[in-house]
Amino acid sequence: MSRRKFSASALGLALASAGAPALPPCFGRAAPAQEARPAPTPGPSKVFREARAVNDTATPDPGAFEFELGGFAYHVNANGNGRRTKGRKVRGFNLRLDRGESVNQLFYSEFEGDLLLLLHTTIADIGLGFVTRLEQPSMRGLWRQRIPARDVGNPLRAGWDLYVTGEGFVGMIDLRTGEYAWQHDDLEVEHGAEPKPLHTFDAPELDGDAVLFRERPVYNPRRTLVIEKKSGKIIRVE
């Protein structure tokens, strides 16, 4: 399956085969392109850090991920089983992956004393992702939200807003509830001559009341999707 032909419908089929619920679509149209602006200086935000990959097998895929946060040491297996350790105290947990799903990258952060995880996963050779919030100290899952696209990018967190991206997808998750405040999932679909489809993105950037989603440098010309950060309204593509 080519990158251009992959769509939310293909993702839905993969998740359906794994027994996962599909997310409702939210369609957005971009305004005509304008002259690009220089990148703004990033404002204060909580940064997701990447966990260390651990590979105890002969396969190239990592078997587990490890990181430290808040005085605890965490070990998460690729199958979603994990443990949190502090001294001699150990608490197990499970991220409840879907059938056939495995973790190939893990990012972590803290929110209101709880643990936030953003995971890059694979089902049937399709790259997916989701965000989950785990209550501390119980490690109980408060919510889990899918990023309904492949090639999930690095997120941006500002307060309780989490901006996420994927192939042809951008959205903002409210970290208090785990729900999307807004999303656009048809950015890679042709809509006539203009605007041309958008693909995958670098980490989002804040610019006043807007959030900027810049295409990765592999695309020429490289464009920026400008969105009103609270309402999710597309302002323009530049």
Q: Which of 22-26, 61-65, 158-162 has the lowest mean pLDDT?
A: 22-26
Residue 2 lies in a domain: no
Domains of the chain: total: 1
Residue 173 lies in a domain: yes
Asked if residue 37 has pLDDT above 80, the reply is: no
The b-or-e profile of 213-238 (16+ CB within 10 A means b, else e) is bbbeeeeeeebbbbbebeebebbebb
Asked if residue 40 has pLDDT above 80, the reply is: no
Residue 43 lies in a domain: no
Asked if residue 14 has pLDDT above 90, the reply is: no
Residue 108 lies in a domain: yes
| pTM of the shown model | 0.76
pLDDT (0 to 100) of residue 25? 39
Residue 90 lies in a domain: yes
Mean pLDDT of the chain, nearest integer: 80
Residue 161 lies in a domain: yes
Which tens digit of pLDDT belongs to each residue from 186-196? 786 555 555 56
The CATH number of the domain holding residue 96 is 2.40.128.630
Residue 1 lies in a domain: no
Residue 70 lies in a domain: yes
- Domain residue limits at 144: 8-38+48-237
